[in-house]
Structure 1
Amino acid sequence: MSEAQAAAAGVMSTVDILDRLIAFDTVSAKSNLALIDWVEAFLREHGARVTRVADPDAPKAGLIAEIGPEGAGVMLSAHTDVVPVEGQAWSRDPFRLTREGSRLYGRGTTDMKGYLAAMLSAAGRASGMALREPLKLSISWDEEVGCLGIAKMRDALAGATPLPRLCLVGEPTEMQVATGHKGKRAIRAVCHGEAGHSALAPRFMNALHLAAGLVQGVQALQAEYASTGARDPGYGVPYTTLHVGRVTGGTALNIVPDRAEVIFEFRHLAADAPETLMARIEAMAAEVETANPGGRIELEPMVSYPGLDTPADGAATGLVQRLAQVNGTTKVAFGTEAGTFDGLGIPTLVCGPGSMEGQGHKPDEYVEEAQLAACDAMLGRVLEELRGA
């Protein structure tokens, strides 16, 4: 079914669907159930077989859907949550789609409700086609806070056999084909010392001194990886990175702090096993403890997600290049859910409308209509691929 035929048949366009999606305030700290209810009703109306995956800990959910016959098929993947707008200088209502020239403004237009809208429009078109293979959809939550939702969907995705022969994660790449991104682990270090009067400070173990030693250790590891670690020239920063994002501790100047926290992360290349790097961090923390008798450091895992490293010369990459009508490949600096699908044995690429660098997480976020049109065209070719044309 062409886009003109779809319009004649009353199938909602990507822009019309995006208008509905933007109106749902799905900032990660809030529920996404109103949006999920609307999307599930839309998919069922178009004949999809839909499984809802509920978050056991919060009023949130995701969806796994299929249209067409049983089989492997192709999966399209998007998340429903968006980043907050508080503290940003928006010049328009972030939760109402507005058009200005060729731009469509609203929170999530680029990251990544634009692609979700294109997915749903493709599903609407697929419902009127005789497919030889199924179109599959994965719609998740809490991607923006560490890919939490997709981790809770993993078992349901793994159990929905046969697995897709390809997954397209539609994070914004300006419709370029991305074969990789780094994996991530975030860690909270709780440093324990001993409280006391600051006039007698040398008699007590200052938890902030422990924290300072830990920060120096993270810096030293970063310097090592930057100078002698593995390299991947596909990335703007071609080595594994470590970053301290927050240090807190102490209650008053005249009290030796007995507790401090350091929150840090590492983003690792495929060549650097996260378990190896974590073991080095644990050894470094033990050295800081030894240098500060009476101190203790607890390392607590926070969030993590796997990286992606799909072969640039593989069959899946070639197929997506043909579907997107591009020749080259790229790698992205940000994390995605693609590594989860790859870990299930599904060849996975990242390709979607909009610019993460230009628009992602910024005030007055927008997507160019030409980007949505290019995405619609790519997903139209996906449908032709599934139809066997």
Structure 2
Amino acid sequence: MTDVVALTRELIRIDSVGGGEAAVAEPLARRLEAAGFEVRAHDHAPGRTGLVARWGTGVPVTLTGHLDTVPLGGRPWTHEPHTAEVDGDRLYGRGSSDMKAGVAALVVAAERHVRGPNHRVALEIVLTAGEETGCEGAIDMVARGLVSRSRGLLVAEPTANRALLGHKGALWLKATAHGRTAHGSMPHLGDNAIYKLARAIGAVERFDPGVSPHPWLGAPTVNVGTVHGGINVNSVPDLAEATVDMRTVTGQDHTELRERLRERLDGETSLEVLTDLPSVWTDPDDPFVRVLVAAGARPPGERPAASYFTDASVLATACGDAPTVICGPGEPEQAHVTDEYCEIPRIEEAVEIYAGALAGLSAP
């Protein structure tokens, strides 16, 4: 068993569903310190530990991944989620694809780079907590000035080792309507919050994001994801809430977008921001993209953007708008599913891609 597979299995065996990233960060910090990195742990909440590890001088290349995983779901697992079972070429377990295999590959490739003969590229490894709940750890790291300007940002989210060039942004809003309660048999004495919210939902459905589709990211989208209102059938409800998921493309200003939507709601419904993450896009001809493809990453192809958002929404700007590539060994379709797995050859291949790209960037 190769070192990177053994490390991936070690990380999967640590349960970090919705928290507990400190236990995942501990063995990674030990390895990086042993390799010569200066490691700083960062907690944005108790037990929610991320790491920033630096090596070398000058403007670094930034490698990033997250340490948390999503809940297991209600279906029984055939392969226990935290035993890291190997079956043929597949490594099973929660986080195998999303994204402990990617984290392990980054760390092993970084160790190889700093111990090798051609290691002129400085590195910064940013391992975050709370990515799955809105990039909370990355946001706090950036707010505290822990992330450096960078030559390039590599995100090891699951892409089956394809080099993806960005993803849509996410603006999540909570719409709230207030009314006045009364008995359900006398609705004229109340003010029905659900009716107000229903009108707002209709306005959201008709809302025009106001921009043309991006040539690669596609069109922006708007979706109402949840609706809650009322407490019993025979009362006029005085509170109703809905959540709105807006996915944005390069060129959309989230503040302007939110205000335009607020105007459409005619003052009957308030809007609260839940998540505000900008889109990410890098030109396909950027040298950082080319060096990763030359090192073995699969070319972007006809669908060069990820369907999900990543910590790059937060980190790319902090890295000085560095060119950003999403490329990791996990299978995108395996993220968040029951019996999640990662193909072992992909994990080993990712190490070669990352190490090869760093060597290519070191070349004169």
What TM bracket, shorter-length normalisation? over 0.9
Deviations 1:175-209, CA, capped at 9 Å, x for gaps: 11111211011111221000001111133210111
Deviations 1:136-190, CA, capped at 9 Å, x for gaps: 211001111111111111145x5555x2211100111111111121101111122
Aligned to 2:338: 363
Give the TM-score normalised by the residue count of structure 1.
0.87
How far apart are residue 81 of structure 1 and its match?
0.6
Q: Distance in 2 between matches of 1:218 and 1:94?
A: 39
Gap runs ≥5 in structure 2: none
Aligned to 2:228: 248
SS in 2 for 1:380: helix
- Contact 2:197–2:240 (CA<8 Å) still a contact in 1? yes
Aligned to 1:146: 134
1:76-155 matched pairs, under 5 angstroms? 76-130=63-117, 131-155=119-143
SS in 2 for 1:331: coil
Please tell me whether residue 51 in structure 1 is matched to residue 40 in structure 2: yes
Aligned to 1:348: 324
Aligned length: 359
RMSD value, Cα: 2.0
Letter in 1 for 2:287: A
Aligned to 2:292: 320
Q: Distance in 2 between matches of 1:269 and 1:65?
A: 31
1:1-389 matched pairs, under 5 angstroms? 13-28=3-18, 30-55=19-44, 57-67=45-55, 69-130=56-117, 131-156=119-144, 158=145, 161=148, 163-221=149-207, 224-225=208-209, 229-235=211-217, 238-286=218-266, 289=268, 297-329=269-301, 330-344=304-318, 345=320, 346-356=322-332, 358-385=333-360, 387-388=362-363
Gap runs ≥5 in structure 1: 1-6, 290-296
Deviations 1:90-126, CA, capped at 9 Å, x for gaps: 1121011111111111111111111101112123323
Deviations 1:73-97, CA, capped at 9 Å, x for gaps: 3211000011100313311210111
- Contact 1:353–1:375 (CA<8 Å) still a contact in 2? yes
- Contact 1:230–1:272 (CA<8 Å) still a contact in 2? no
Which stretch shows the higher mean deviation, 319-328 or 100-109? 319-328
SS in 1 for 2:132: coil
SS in 2 for 1:197: coil
When residues 247 and 347 of structure 1 are mapped into structure 2, their CA distance, relative to the original with a 3 A threshold, is same
Q: Distance in 2 between matches of 1:278 and 1:343?
A: 21
Q: Distance in 2 between matches of 1:250 and 1:325?
A: 52
- Contact 2:121–2:358 (CA<8 Å) still a contact in 1? no
How far apart are residue 376 of structure 1 and its match?
1.3
How far apart are residue 339 of structure 1 and its match?
2.4
Deviations 1:305-329, CA, capped at 9 Å, x for gaps: 1210111222222222223344445
Letter in 2 for 1:276: E
When residues 92 and 159 of structure 1 are mapped into structure 2, their CA distance, relative to the original with a 3 A threshold, is closer
Letter in 2 for 1:316: F
Q: Distance in 2 between matches of 1:325 and 1:87?
A: 35
- Contact 1:206–1:258 (CA<8 Å) still a contact in 2? yes
Q: Distance in 1 between matches of 2:76 and 2:336?
A: 12
Q: Distance in 2 between matches of 1:50 and 1:382?
A: 23
How far apart are residue 36 of structure 1 and its match?
1.4
- Contact 1:181–1:332 (CA<8 Å) still a contact in 2? yes
How far apart are residue 232 of structure 1 and its match?
2.2
- Contact 2:21–2:67 (CA<8 Å) still a contact in 1? yes
